[in-house]
């Protein structure tokens, strides 16, 4: 019985030391995720006023030089446009 108490105490000390030695800066920062509605509205504004609607991916991480496709409709005819993110904060430009 005494030996198991010692084992439990040693394990508790080891876990405590591990927790205290964990560097919180080792945790990567949360990615910046763009608002999908804002992305679609921005793409629609860049394409022009004749665009009926736009559909882009729902989950977009703001990564520099990332490209993705959006579908837009003009008079119920679907079209595709390539969109490029830049600056790491979600600046959007259309790829021509």
Give residue-wise pLDDT tens across range 26-81: 777 888 899 999 999 999 999 998 999 999 999 998 888 899 999 999 999 999 99
Quick check: is 6 in a domain?
Answer: no
User: Would the pLDDT of 15 be above 70?
Assistant: no
Choose between 84 and 12: higher pLDDT: 84
Give me the number of domains the chain comprises: 1
Closest by Cα among 68, 67, 64, 42 to 54: 42
Supply angle C-alpha 21, 25, 30, rounded to 5.
135
Residue in the structure block whose two tokens are 């205290």: 20
Quick check: is 18 in a domain?
Answer: no
Quick check: is 3 in a domain?
Answer: no
Does the predicted TM-score (pTM) go above 0.95? no
User: Would the pLDDT of 96 be above 90?
Assistant: no
pLDDT of residue 9: 54
- Domain that includes residue 62, residue range: 33-95
Quick check: is 19 in a domain?
Answer: no
Choose between 9 and 40: higher pLDDT: 40
Quick check: is 52 in a domain?
Answer: yes
């Amino acid at each position: 019985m005494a030996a198991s108490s010692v084992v439990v105490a040693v394990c508790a000390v080891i876990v405590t030391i591990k927790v205290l030695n964990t560097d919180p800066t080792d945790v990567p920062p949360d990615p910046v995720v763009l608002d999908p509605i804002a992305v679609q509205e921005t793409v629609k504004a860049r394409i022009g006023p004749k665009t009926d609607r736009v559909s882009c991916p729902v989950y977009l991480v703001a990564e520099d030089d990332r490209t993705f496709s959006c579908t837009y409709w003009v008079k119920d005819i679907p079209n595709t446009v390539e969109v490029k993110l830049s600056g790491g904060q979600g600046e959007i430009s259309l790829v021509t």
